[in-house]
Amino acid sequence: MNLCKTDEEIELMKLSNRLVTDVLAEMAKLIQPGITTKLLDRVAEEYIRLHKGIPGFLGYSGFPNTLCTSINSEVVHGIPSNIELAEGDIISVDCGVILNGYYGDCAYTFAVGNISEDVKKLLRVTKECLFMGAEKAITGNRIGDISFAVQQHAESNGYSVVREMVGHGLGKKLHERPEVANYGKKGSGMKLPKNLTICIEPMINMGVKGIVQEKDGWTVRTADRMPSAHFELPVAVREGSPLFLSSFQEIEAVLNIK
């Protein structure tokens, strides 16, 4: 597998990842108290197919839906259902697509109505962790530099970092090498070559770092049932600064976040 992409491949990956964040922007328009995650999932699948994409998660290793919808203490891989979102919830929406033979993969944690100030801080810090990690995705650095940046910022704010779930390479496959952990040591791991394409996705818990898997075989929840937040963006390693293959701009325009 060629982990480093050509410039032409990166342009195609920008298109697939833009489609994902467009889907998430559509979710931003719908997320409110009373809506079900199953409805979000249906709208997401319809939007992807309308725009000539293929849902990247649907059927992946047997996953039954287009979106992963993880609420409150659910960290990742939550299965859409008929349960209605409630005021004060948070929900991580993780979406993948295939377009022109390349995967797009992004995630955003949304507030449902008004949320508490301590949970707002968790979301803010987790998103900051993503961008602080991404800043280290430059040639000459190592994977551990990304991991350390995420961990240091999370833990300095009193949060814990999920160990078992990690970021990953992205391309013609959803999960390529290398794994990108959200904890680690500076200067450790593989050296980052130009045009390596990776997803950086901090999963940060308000309480303990431990997780458990639910009986459905997919949903991962915090061991202490405290809230968890999750943000994800793909980047290509470049000299001096990373190249983001997508952004949260369209999502946050809907949410009126400046």
126-183: per-residue pLDDT in tens? 999 999 999 999 999 999 999 999 999 999 999 999 999 999 999 999 999 999 999 9
Per-residue confidence (pLDDT) for residue 241, from 0 to 100: 96
Per-residue confidence (pLDDT) for residue 1, from 0 to 100: 60
**Backbone angles phi and psi of 61, in degrees to 5:** 55, 25
> Six-digit token pair at 152?
């240091």
Q: Judging by beta carbons within 10 Å of its beta carbon (0-12, 13-18, 19+), is residue 240 exposed, middle or buried? A: exposed
Question: What are the respective helix, strand and coil percentages of the chain, to the nearest 5?
Answer: 30, 30, 40
Q: In percent, how much of the chain has pLDDT > 90?
A: 98
Average pLDDT over residues 49-73: 98
Quick one: pLDDT band at residue 189, thresholds 50, 70, 90? Answer: very high
- Is 3 a residue whose pLDDT tops 90? no
Ramachandran quadrant class, 54 (left: phi over 0; alpha: psi -120 to 50; beta: rest): beta
Q: What ranges do the domains of the chain cover? A: 7-255
Average pLDDT over residues 108-137: 98
Residues in the chain: 258
Quick one: pLDDT band at residue 41, thresholds 50, 70, 90? Answer: very high
Average pLDDT, the chain: 97
Cβ atoms within 10 Å of 174's Cβ, excluding its own: 18
Per-residue confidence (pLDDT) for residue 2, from 0 to 100: 74
- Is 258 a residue whose pLDDT tops 80? no
Average pLDDT over residues 92-116: 98
- State pLDDT tens for residues 4-37: 999 999 999 999 999 999 999 999 999 999 999 9
Q: Judging by beta carbons within 10 Å of its beta carbon (0-12, 13-18, 19+), is residue 182 exposed, middle or buried? A: buried
Task: Give the DSSP H or E segment for 43.
Answer: helix 37-50
CATH topology of domain 7-255: Creatine Amidinohydrolase (3.90.230)
Average pLDDT over residues 53-68: 97
